Structure 1
Amino acid sequence: MMVAVVRDDEQVREPGQAVPGTEPPASPDPSARTGAGTGAGAEPDPHALTRITLRPIASPMPLGFFTVAISSAVTSSLQLGLIDGVHRQAVALTVFSAFVLQLLVSVLAFGARDVIAATLMGGFAGAWLANGLVTATDAPGGAKVLGVMNLVFTVFAALMASVARPKKVLWVLLMIAVPRYFVAGLHGVTGVSALGHVAGALGMLLAAVAMYAAYALMLEELRGREVLWIGRNGPVRDAMHAGLSGQLHRLEQQAGVRRTL
């Protein structure tokens, strides 16, 4: 299915049929076919030839949130001691699959014109990849390097939370991710074992909220309405209920249509 933006005056007519309410011209006017009306050789009007086509896709966000939930539960189990430390490489290989899935979600979210979701899922994908590679290879100084990365990721998550308030369930998830990655960063830098257990507990809470968000979004997609609380408000809520004309408002100024990013 495709949605196209066309001119209001375009109508489907049989060959030779005149436009209703007008008289056919006495003779063909070559300048009318050029769209410029200034004589032979004039360029056609680019606005009359332009079409903007949208290709709807299924929402990738349930997959993204389920991936966050599963990977957070696995890594938190390692931090809490539920998985023995000798199995760190197995955990790292498991986390690598999260990188692949969340990268896919990010690409699809960019195609769906949701820059917040796309940026967040891309950020998570990069974090999972770094965590998995450093842990699997047991790189020297890996714990401290990952600690610094987690501290920087805390800033990223806080900035994302500041613009995600209209998506309340996403905002709640980020408000848990901020302290979770902050404590994990301190644990990596300082090596204090107690901080690792706190980060693991926060990671389990993050996994639970992500699991809820994924399930709520999936139910909404299946039933066409909000079943479990998601908490959309403002322009995000309007986007779920606005008509086609509202969805296409200022489409020509959005990324991918305008000349520059």
Structure 2
Amino acid sequence: MQKGIERTGYADFWELYKRNVLPRETKNYVPIIIGLTLIAKDAAHYNIQVEPEAPVPTDVVKPGRAIDLRLVAETIDVDLETLRSLNPSLLRLATPDDSFFELHLPPGTAQKFSAEIADIPPYKWVSWRRHRVATGETLTSIAKKYRVTAAAIADANNLERNAALDAGEKLIIPATQPQSETKRRLVSYRVRRGDTFLGIADRFSVSAEDLRKWNRLKSNKVGRGMVLRIYTLGGAPEISPARARSRSRKKPAQPIAGGAAGGAVAVNHN
């Protein structure tokens, strides 16, 4: 669908459908999802009896900032898929950088999470990991697995460089993010009918504060046709005065094709 949006400038499914730029499977399953949603909202109207399932019991925590789901899973000793199944809204391996975001954990694990995550600096939550030592593992073998040095692991855990490890012991791994995960990605989004400021921020997994800062806005008001700058990974890059002046001499950007109703998205990589 993204390719169709970039080709036509429209972010409306039915417009893309009419222009025949969608893969066959996309053209088929989206209307099915819409139909099922309408039925679910008013099952009685369609003579369908539904017995709602009881909500899945979970613990709820607010990390306060972005955190890698793998680190969370390793901290509370659950598999990653279990954690993802409890948080179906997360399409990536990290939570949004949103102080209000609620992360669902298996029952009885919230206290353990809070206690263990306190050992890792919050600004390292999207890169550092936890590792439970298996029989026969050494600092060197673990370091190779995470592509860090044995000395770095020893320092992070206050261990001697040649320390023997006990099976079952948990270590902090001062890993670094691959370059592809830290590369900033700039998205220019044209506001369309029905969009709200907070809805756009949620869609791109960014905070409202950052979205206002990137676009020099004083409030959460957005108007149809407005184009917003959104950095989907990390913050906005620093721009030197010289670079800023050189940008100001460039020709104004051409309007995004498709008009205000299209909700066009253009993607750049910095």
| TM bracket (short chain) | under 0.3
TM-score (structure 2 length as normaliser): 0.22
TM-score (structure 1 length as normaliser): 0.23
Which structure has more strand as a fraction of its residues?
2
Q: Which has the larger radius of gyration?
A: 1
For CA contacts below 8 A with separation 6 or more, give which structure has more relative contact order. 2
